[in-house]
Structure 1
């Protein structure tokens, strides 16, 4: 009985000594494999802008605001501004609830 308690105690101590992420490496922001599948890829030079037209746009979400900035233009437009080298994801929902995903790639 004592050896069983000793083994359980030793096992618990060994498991608690492992860092929280030791079993599975943490995903790094910007890893291409971590980004959702894109319907379209936009490649822009740093400082460039592009306007996307999305009829019936109802909602916009941007993954990394340090890479790109977005603002609405009128009822159906989204202006994408390339800020810094990197990759991010832009999702735009239409009035019907369907979403369109863009991978934004900014080159230096």
Structure 2
């Protein structure tokens, strides 16, 4: 029997994946530019990012900036954030979201 079949039917595996994603989903995102917290955002499919378990993103309703959150292994998250910064340019506000839902900028911002 194949490994996938040991984990259940296709429907069961799909439900397991949805449950894992739901468990990783933050209650809100916080804009790095204007510090607005908002709860309307999407999961972003990122199947080929090694070490990244989930990506969530949305547009800040206050200032219109794109906000992304990467969840996964610390080094993979750091690499993804640096790649995002290079792609988006100088206006990117890198930081992290604290457990209490606040945006904490990295030093030098």
TM-score w.r.t. the length of structure 1 is 0.24
Larger radius of gyration: 1
TM-score w.r.t. the length of structure 2 is 0.24
